[in-house]
């Protein structure tokens, strides 16, 4: 009984901390629509800041605590809103989520950079652990304070949201931002307030929970992630239910700490389960809560465009990848090559996200866990390099994916992300760490308690033992996986995925089986991820569960989304950055600094290009190359020539690298100027459609005010645009949209050139229109 009371008191304290954290999370979610994955990391940063102030510099707690919670944290929230979050309105949900992942990565690496992880630090409980006695139990003042603060937070938040004008305006903004504007409430003020309050609560929770562990970035971050379970029990909406949820999670966690070690049977299996107890609560909550209760927020107008990949483009891409791999494999040094073999496995895992996250709009945080399963399968079944093990890996991962997706079918948006995240953490922290066990007479030993070794494949006389052949084989496998994804997008399944993403309700009323479609895409992408894991395992030969950790999975997803999760090229980008020595060799000792910077840049890039860099920057830049065969053939010729010279040892590796770089930069510029010359227009900036269109619009406006025929032209233009499907409802509105939006809707790859417009005019039988006025017609007139 005594023991029970002790655990209850500490459980209540944990619950109080979770409640503070979870209510901050819920607050930012309901008022801004962004689920802040970095909420825990914000608390972690605050804990370190507090440690620095209170322990490092010896500031008294009554000064250090308010400084952290009431000054530093709100400032940080303000910065976050200003730099990143503000620009995410209307971005796809995956982007909104992944931006916060980027923030998490920034914070973790920032902390590891500022506070050397190898130094032991411990934060002090408030009141220096003193307390009073209640019967036989000692109750620390710290715990009493935590509970008091939690209660105060509950009351203050309730007052804020329901009884203050600022709070009501925050809720109003979620309902209808433009109506809130018409009522005189500045939307940015509400968002700023929400972020400032949210980060302050995260900071408070982080500082309070820190004494329970030693100060270490990732464990502290994950510890506060447990509060997510509480937020989900509150359905990310209700603050009272969030507090109930916090109570459940907090007590469950502390009872588990107290009683799990007392279970006699299977101790070695259960030990690992301790840290994942809150995650299990999250899993159960997601499974038990009725689906109708877990509806995501209504989808806001999304400014996302998913172009259909063409076979030509897909094949060209794959050919380029394999060609590049051959060049790399034949010219790179052995050490470099060895350090880069793992990239193809990761690239395949990355490309497995394209159908699921990109096409179907379902956010999965456990793709790398499927890869871990695939790796384990290959290590066990691939003895002697049997390539069938790869297929088995894909099949097993696909089956697990299907099973995981069954409960996920009714979930979408953030709830699905959390479910898959919970699954990933469970695998990562518990299942992958299990010692060997026996089920139905078969002995399982997933990661053999540590390191897993896998052989490289052999097919008949062909074996991939050498780094060279394996590298090229990996590239071919990636190319096949990418082509499979293209095939999916071009099939009926692909169209269904897009339909379900854009309007689940409409798809259902059309008689589409939404669940079956979702199940199919989950299975497929889990299978691909499993394949990727298998390739990874045999690439690195010996692998540990750490390679498939939740945190690494988040980083992979981040890279894929930044590159553009609807493009197959994003997988390659993720593989290159994560699977080669590119980052670590460039960074050397300052790896964490570089990671922090890169992730920060990624967040900013995402805020600017919510659809990713490939569709909005790279593809438009390289598009002309495809249309000028001379440039394309010339580039390939130059690179091949350099490569041959390199193989003949006429030039060295640096010259080859330099040559490839020059070609990569010069080809698009040359092609663009040729395209422009051919169409007889003045060269326009390569990257900005908006400026091109705006310039044309400006000329047209000028023309309209000076010529009498302009009105007729304008009148002609409206139906033109309407006939081509630009009209009502399709085009997102808003002054910031500029003129760039509709061009893509016309089916063009931006930027639109004169040739495109001529073709359009011909199709619309407008070719006869006076040549001098064509420009005005095209932009929809002034």
Partner 1 sequence: MTAVLPAGATAGPRPGAGAAPGGAGAPLVETRGLRARYGRVEVLHGVDLAVGAGQVLAVLGPNGAGKSTLLRVIAGLHVASAGDVVLGGRRATGADPVDLARRGLCLIPEGRGVFPSLTVRENLRMMTYRGGRSRADVEERAVARFPKLGQRLHQPAGTMSGGEQQMLALARAIVADPAVLLLDELSMGLAPLVVAELYASVRAIAAENVTIIVVEQFAAAVLEVADTAAVLVEGRIAAAGRPADIAGSLSGAYLGGRPARDENSPDDASGAARPGRRRPGMTR
Ligand X SMILES: Nc1ncnc2c1ncn2[C@@H]1O[C@H](COP(=O)(O)OP(=O)(O)OP(=O)(O)O)[C@@H](O)[C@H]1O
- Residues at the interface with ligand X (CB under 6 A): 727-728, 731, 733
Query: Which CB, 441 or 728, lies closer to ligand X?
Result: 728
Q: Would you say 383 or 733 has its CB closer to ligand X?
A: 733
**Continuous H helices in 302-342:** 311-331, 334-340
The pair of three-digit structure tokens given for residue 646, joined into one six-digit string:
């390199």
What is the spatial distance between Cα 251 and Cα 13, in angstroms, rounded to a whole number? Answer: 9
Q: Which of the listed partners (partner 1, ligand X, none) does 546 bind, with a CB threshold of 5 to 8 Å by partner kind? A: none
Q: Does 498 bind partner 1 (CB under 8 A)?
A: no
Q: Which of ligand X, partner 1, none has residue 726 at its interface (CB below 5 to 8 Å by kind)?
A: partner 1
181 binds partner 1 (CB under 8 A): yes
562 binds, among partner 1, ligand X, none (CB under 5 to 8 A by kind): none
**Which two structure tokens, joined as six digits, stand for 241?**
């239910």
| E strand or H helix that includes residue 137 | strand 137-140
Residue 510's binding partner among partner 1, ligand X, none (Cβ under 5 to 8 angstroms by kind) is none
For residue 122, the 8-state DSSP code is: B
Least separation in angstroms between residue 186's CB and partner 1 is: 5
The answer to whether 528 touches 481, Cβ cutoff 8 Å, is yes
| Nearest one of 770, 630, 777, 661 to 718, comparing CA atoms | 777
Query: Which residue is listed with tokens 């330099």?
Result: 658
334 contact, one of ligand X, partner 1, none, CB 5-8 Å limit per kind: none
Taking the C-alpha atoms of residue 505 and residue 508, their distance in angstroms, rounded to an integer, is 5
Location of structure tokens 């999304």: 302
Interacting residue with partner 1 among 594, 704, 764, 774 (CB under 8 A): 704
**Across the chain, how many H-helices and E-strands are there?**
37, 8
Closest CB to ligand X among 91 and 281? Answer: 91
Which lies closer to ligand X via its Cβ, residue 178 or residue 268?
178
- Of the pair 234, 358, the CB lying nearest partner 1 is at 234
Task: Tell me how many residues contact partner 1 (CB under 8 A).
Answer: 49
Cβ atoms of residues 487 and 356 within 8 Å? no
Structure tokens given for 716: 């002609």
- The dihedrals phi and psi of 700, each to the nearest 5 degrees, come to -65, -40
Q: 404 burial class (0-12, 13-18, 19+ CB within 10 angstroms)?
A: buried
Beta-bridged to residue 443, according to DSSP, are: 438
Q: Does 710 bind partner 1 (CB under 8 A)?
A: yes
Residues 6+ apart with CB under 8 A from 88: 34, 95, 96, 99, 607, 610
Q: Is 183 in the site for partner 1 (CB under 8 A)?
A: yes
Closest CA to 91 of 504, 556, 609, 502: 609
576 versus 710: smaller Cβ distance to partner 1: 710
**Near partner 1 by CB under 8 A: residue from 1, 118, 182, 288:** 182
| 694 contributes a contact to partner 1 by CB under 8 A | no
Q: Which of 25, 174, 233, 366 binds partner 1 (CB under 8 A)?
A: 174
Beta strands of 629-723 (E only): which ranges?
A: none
**Of the listed pieces 34-42, 318-326, 520-528, 713-721, which binds partner 1 according to CB under 8 A?**
713-721
To the nearest whole angstrom, how small is the minimum distance from the Cβ of residue 580 to ligand X? 44
- CA angle at residue 153 from 47 to 212, to 5 degrees? 35
Least Å distance between CB 505 and ligand X? Answer: 21
What distance in Å separates the CA atoms of residue 391 and residue 759, rounded to the nearest whole number? Answer: 47
Q: Which stretch binds partner 1 (CB under 8 A): 177-185, 204-212, 267-275, 756-764?
A: 177-185
In DSSP notation, 481-530 reads: HHHHHHHHHHSHHHHHHHHHHH-HHHHHHTT--HHHHHHHHHHHHHHHHH
Nearer to partner 1, 171 or 626 (CB): 171
Question: Under the criterion CB under 8 A, does residue 234 sit at the interface with partner 1?
Answer: no
Closest to ligand X by CB, 159 vs 179, is 179
Asked if 660 touches partner 1 (CB under 8 A), the answer is no
By the rule CB under 8 A, 690 interacts with partner 1: no
Helix/strand/coil (H/E/C) assignment for every residue in 374-392: HHHHHHHHCHHHCCHHHHH
Among partner 1, ligand X, none, the one that 711 touches (CB under a kind-dependent 5 to 8 A) is partner 1
Of the candidate spans 71-79, 163-171, 618-626, 627-635, the one that interacts with partner 1 by CB under 8 A turns out to be 163-171
Query: What is the rounded CA–CA span in Å between residue 165 and residue 172?
Result: 10
Give residues 736-775 in contact with partner 1 (rule: CB under 8 A).
737, 739, 741-743
Q: Figure out which of the listed residues 89, 169, 376, 639 binds partner 1, where binding follows CB under 8 A.
A: 169
594 binds partner 1 (CB under 8 A): no
- Give dist(CA 436, CA 345) in Å, integer: 26
The 3-state secondary structure of 388-454, one letter per residue:
HHHHHHHHHHHHHHHHHHHHHCCCCHHHHHHHHHHHHHHHHHCHHHCCCEEECCEEECCCCCCEEEC
Residue 184 binding: pick among ligand X, partner 1, none (C-beta 5-8 Å cut-off by kind): partner 1
Q: Which stretch binds partner 1 (CB under 8 A): 122-130, 366-374, 558-566, 731-739?
A: 731-739
Which stretches of the chain bind partner 1, using CB under 8 A?
162, 165, 168-169, 171-172, 174-176, 178-186, 693, 701, 704-705, 708-712, 714-715, 717-718, 721-722, 726-728, 731-733, 735, 737, 739, 741-743, 779-782
């Amino acid at each position: 009984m005594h023991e029970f009371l002790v655990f209850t008191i500490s459980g209540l304290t944990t619950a109080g901390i979770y409640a503070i954290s979870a209510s901050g999370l819920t607050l930012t979610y309901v008022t801004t629509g962004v689920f802040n994955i970095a909420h825990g990391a914000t608390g972690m940063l605050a804990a370190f800041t507090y440690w620095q102030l209170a322990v490092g510099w010896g500031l008294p707690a009554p000064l250090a605590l308010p400084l952290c919670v009431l000054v530093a944290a709100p400032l940080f929230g303000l910065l976050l809103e200003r730099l990143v979050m503000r620009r995410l309105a209307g971005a796809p949900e995956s982007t909104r989520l992944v931006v916060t992942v980027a923030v998490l990565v920034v914070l973790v690496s920032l902390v590891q950079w500022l506070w050397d992880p190898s130094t032991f630090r411990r934060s002090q409980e408030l009141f220096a652990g003193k307390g009073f006695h209640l019967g036989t139990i000692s109750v620390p003042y710290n715990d009493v304070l935590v509970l008091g603060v939690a209660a105060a937070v509950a009351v203050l938040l309730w007052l804020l949201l329901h009884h203050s004008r600022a709070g009501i305006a925050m809720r109003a903004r979620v309902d209808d931002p433009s109506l809130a504007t018409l009522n005189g409430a500045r939307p940015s003020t509400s968002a700023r307030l929400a972020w400032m309050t949210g980060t302050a609560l995260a900071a408070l929770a982080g500082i309070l929970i820190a004494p329970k562990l030693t100060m270490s970035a990732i464990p502290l971050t994950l510890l506060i992630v447990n509060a997510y379970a509480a937020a989900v029990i509150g359905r990310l909406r209700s603050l009272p239910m969030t507090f109930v949820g916090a109570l459940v999670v907090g007590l469950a966690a502390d009872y588990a700490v107290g009683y799990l070690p007392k279970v006699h049977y299977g101790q070695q299996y259960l030990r690992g389960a301790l840290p994942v107890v809150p995650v299990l609560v999250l899993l159960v909550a997601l499974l038990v809560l009725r689906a109708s209760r877990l509806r995501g927020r209504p989808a806001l107008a999304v400014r996302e465009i998913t172009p259909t990949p063409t076979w030509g483009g897909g094949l060209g891409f794959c050919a380029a990848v394999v060609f590049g791999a051959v060049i790399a494999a034949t010219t790179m040094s052995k050490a470099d090559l060895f350090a880069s073999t793992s990239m193809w496995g990761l690239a395949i895992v990355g490309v497995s996200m394209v159908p699921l996250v990109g096409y179907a709009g379902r956010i999965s945080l456990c793709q790398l866990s499927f890869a871990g399963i695939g790796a384990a399968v290959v290590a066990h079944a691939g003895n002697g390099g049997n390539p069938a093990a790869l297929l088995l890996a894909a099949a097993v991962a696909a089956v697990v994916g299907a099973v995981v997706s069954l409960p996920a079918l009714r979930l979408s948006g953030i709830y699905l992300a959390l479910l898959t995240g919970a699954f990933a953490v469970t695998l990562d922290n518990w299942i992958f760490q299990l010692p060997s066990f026996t089920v139905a007479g078969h002995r399982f030993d997933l990661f053999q308690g540590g390191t897993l070794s896998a052989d490289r494949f052999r097919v008949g006389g062909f074996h991939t033992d050498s780094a060279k052949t394996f590298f090229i084989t990996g590239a071919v496998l990636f190319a096949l996986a990418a082509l499979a994804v293209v095939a999916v997008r071009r099939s009926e399944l692909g169209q269904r995925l897009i339909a379900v993403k854009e309007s689940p309700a409409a798809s259902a009323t059309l008689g589409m089986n939404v669940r079956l479609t979702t199940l199919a895409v989950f299975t497929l992408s889990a299978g691909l991820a499993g394949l990727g894991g298998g390739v990874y395992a045999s690439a690195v030969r010996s692998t540990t569960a750490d390679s498939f950790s939740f945190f690494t999975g988040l980083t992979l997803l981040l890279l894929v989304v930044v590159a553009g999760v609807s493009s197959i090229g994003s997988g390659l980008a993720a593989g290159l950055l994560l699977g080669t020595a590119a980052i670590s060799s460039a960074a050397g000792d300052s790896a964490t600094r570089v990671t922090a910077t890169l992730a920060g840049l990624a967040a900013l890039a995402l805020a600017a290009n919510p659809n990713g860099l490939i569709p909005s920057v790279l593809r438009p830049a390289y598009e002309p190359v495809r249309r000028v065969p001379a440039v394309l053939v010339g580039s390939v010729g130059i690179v091949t020539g350099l490569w041959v010279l390199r193989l003949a040892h006429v030039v060295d590796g640096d010259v080859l690298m330099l040559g490839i770089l020059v070609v990569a930069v010069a080809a698009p510029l040359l092609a663009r100027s040729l395209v422009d010359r051919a169409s007889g227009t003045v060269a326009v900036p390569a990257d900005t459609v908006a400026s091109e269109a705006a310039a044309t619009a400006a000329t047209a406006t000028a023309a309209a005010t000076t010529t009498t025929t302009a009105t007729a032209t304008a009148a002609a233009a409206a139906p033109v645009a309407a006939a081509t499907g630009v009209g009502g409802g399709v085009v997102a509105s808003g002054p910031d949209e500029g003129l760039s939006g509709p061009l893509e809707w016309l089916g063009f790859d931006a930027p639109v050139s004169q040739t495109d417009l001529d073709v359009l005019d011909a199709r619309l039988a407008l070719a006869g229109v006076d040549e001098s006025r064509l420009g005005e017609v095209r932009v929809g007139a002034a």
